[in-house]
């Protein structure tokens, strides 16, 4: 049993139950026709549903990133942490819309793109008009509106987030430098890193993204006025934050 990062591991055990509690605030999904069969869908397609769906993927990606880090598959763990970072930003962007009581044009476009189904045949996809997807810049602006503060602090935070995102993008796109992280001087480490410090640094990154993720879930609980859940999440947030800062 791995004993390092106990607070992060404890948080990852709690997150699935929290996400399901948040999901219970929605009307249950229903079976709808899709292609030759059926699938589960929510009847409403709004920011509350989108947040929960994002939180579902947040929980699984975060958990998988630690599994990969434990296995020494550091580059793949970082690839998933990029997904985690994007999801957190999107949950916060949707929170801004809910708090403001309106959707901007960009947020409306994001929701339409998010709920859109994949065409059933390649020909259908080829016939579609090209789509310009809502990017991180729109997310960053919405998050800045949500967490209002001095302009200098907001800009500094945005630059920090952009820098981290660019670093994680390198793993997703398999940049040369990420491959060379797996070279130990003699051969490429393709079944797990031989470097304990490299593995530890990856777990520190997982702990940091866990802090960010529980903050997003706490925000969701606050919007839904789930005070008891919010308090439980906050206590875990403090514990993981302390572990991350001392790592």
Tokens of 214: 């529980």
Ranges of the chain whose pLDDT falls below 50: 1
Q: Are 110 and 89 in contact (CB under 8 A)?
A: no
Instruction: Please provide the distance, in angstroms rounded to a whole number, between the alpha carbons at the two ends of the chain.
Output: 20
Domain boundaries, given as residue ranges, for the chain = 6-120+133-246
- Looking at residue 2, what is its pLDDT? 62
Neighbour-count burial of 24, counting CB atoms closer than 10 A to its CB (0-12 exposed, 13-18 middle, 19+ buried): exposed
Q: Mind listing the pLDDT tens digit for each residue in 183-202?
A: 999 999 999 999 999 999 99
pLDDT digits (tens, 9 = 90+) for 82-126: 999 999 999 999 999 999 999 999 999 999 999 999 888 899 888
Distances (CA, A) of 205 to 66, 178, 198, 231: 10, 16, 11, 24
- pLDDT value of residue 60: 98
Q: What is the pLDDT of residue 1?
A: 46
Residue 52 DSSP SS3: helix
Quick one: pLDDT at residue 221?
98
Contact criterion met (CB below 8 Å) for 19 and 59: yes
Using a cut of 0.85, tell me whether the model's pTM lies above it: yes
Closest CA to 97 of 14, 186, 193, 219: 219
């Amino acid at each position: 049993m791995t004993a390092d990062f106990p607070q992060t591991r404890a948080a990852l055990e709690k997150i699935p139950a929290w996400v399901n509690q948040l999901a219970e605030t929605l009307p249950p999904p229903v079976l709808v026709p899709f292609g030759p069969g059926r699938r589960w869908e929510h009847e409403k397609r709004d920011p509350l549903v989108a947040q929960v769906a994002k939180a579902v993927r947040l929980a699984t990606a975060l958990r998988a990133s630690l599994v990969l880090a434990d296995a020494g598959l550091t580059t793949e763990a970082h690839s998933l942490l990029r997904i985690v970072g994007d999801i957190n930003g999107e949950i916060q962007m949707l929170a801004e819309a809910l708090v403001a009581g309106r959707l901007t044009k960009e947020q409306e476009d994001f929701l339409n793109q998010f709920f859109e189904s994949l065409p059933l045949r390649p020909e259908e996809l080829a016939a579609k008009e090209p789509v310009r997807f809502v990017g991180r810049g729109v997310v960053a602006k919405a998050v800045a509106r949500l967490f209002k503060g001095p302009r200098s602090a907001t800009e500094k935070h945005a630059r920090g987030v952009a820098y981290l995102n660019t670093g994680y993008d390198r793993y997703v796109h398999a940049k040369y430098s990420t491959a060379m992280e797996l070279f130990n001087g003699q051969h490429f480490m393709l079944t797990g890193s031989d470097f304990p410090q490299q593995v530890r640094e990856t777990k520190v990154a997982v702990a940091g993204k866990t802090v960010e993720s529980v903050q997003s879930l706490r925000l969701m609980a606050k919007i839904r006025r789930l005070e008891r859940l919010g308090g439980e999440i906050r206590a875990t947030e403090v514990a993981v934050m302390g572990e991350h800062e001392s790592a």
